[in-house]
Amino acid sequence: MRTILLLTSLLLLTGCFSSNRQVSQPLMPAPTVVGLQGDIRLLLEQQYQTWAGTPYRLGGADKRGVDCSALVQSIFTEAFDVQLPRTTSEQVAMGDVVARQALQPLDLVFFHTGPTQHVGIYLGQGEFLHASTSRGVIISKLDNPYWKRNFWTARRPVNPLQIASL
């Protein structure tokens, strides 16, 4: 009886280690961002957790529906106690212009999306947080062909060292 239990256990365990399993993406640890940038990214990720899945609604500014500039405004207020203007056209006029290769967490990234403008918050590691018209509040990659093609400019509305002193 013990032998049957042992053999059954071994068969079950070997099934867990099957070499036929295919992984669609390599399992690699995410790069670690340290220091102030890492702290800012962590706060932004926490904000994402509270907003994730909120649907897009033009003119919306709450969890029932939010547009891109209201999301940016709310996150800056809630997480960093920084007041930003309400609209994308006002937000793009704030702060210093930042080259795409010099982006840091908390920089605003702007896109021309047809007749309108779109804004998101750069998280670091090529990712930004925004309110997508089709998928609601999500994190996207700047190197996605759509976002890469429509990238317009980036701004640093506040010096990250000012955030650290709050």
Residues 42-58 have pLDDT tens digits of 999 999 999 999 999 99
**Is residue 16 annotated as a catalytic residue, yes or no?**
no
* DSSP assignment letter at 35: H
Query: Which pLDDT belongs to residue 91?
Result: 98
Residue 16 domain-assigned (yes or no) = no
Catalytic, out of 40, 44, 66, 68: 68
Residue 3 domain-assigned (yes or no) = no
pTM reported for the whole predicted model = 0.77
Domain count, the chain: 1
**Is residue 112 annotated as a catalytic residue, yes or no?**
no
**Quick one: average pLDDT of 9-26?**
32
Residue 1 domain-assigned (yes or no) = no
Q: Indicate if the alpha-carbon torsion angle 68, 132, 57, 55 is positive or negative.
A: negative
Query: Which pLDDT belongs to residue 162?
Result: 78
Residue 12 domain-assigned (yes or no) = no
Catalytic, out of 41, 130, 155, 156: 130
Residue 39 domain-assigned (yes or no) = yes
Catalytic, out of 41, 118, 155, 156: 118
Q: What is the CATH number of the domain that holds 69?
A: 3.90.1720.10
Residues 73-130 have pLDDT tens digits of 999 999 999 999 999 999 999 999 999 999 999 999 999 998 999 999 999 999 999 9
Give the Cα separation of 73 and 86 in Å (integer): 6
Q: Quick one: which of 138, 139, 137 has its CA closest to 64?
A: 137
Angle between helices 68-80 and 35-51 (to 10 degrees): 120
Q: Tell which wins on pLDDT, 145 or 18.
A: 145
Query: What's the domain range around 106?
Result: 34-164
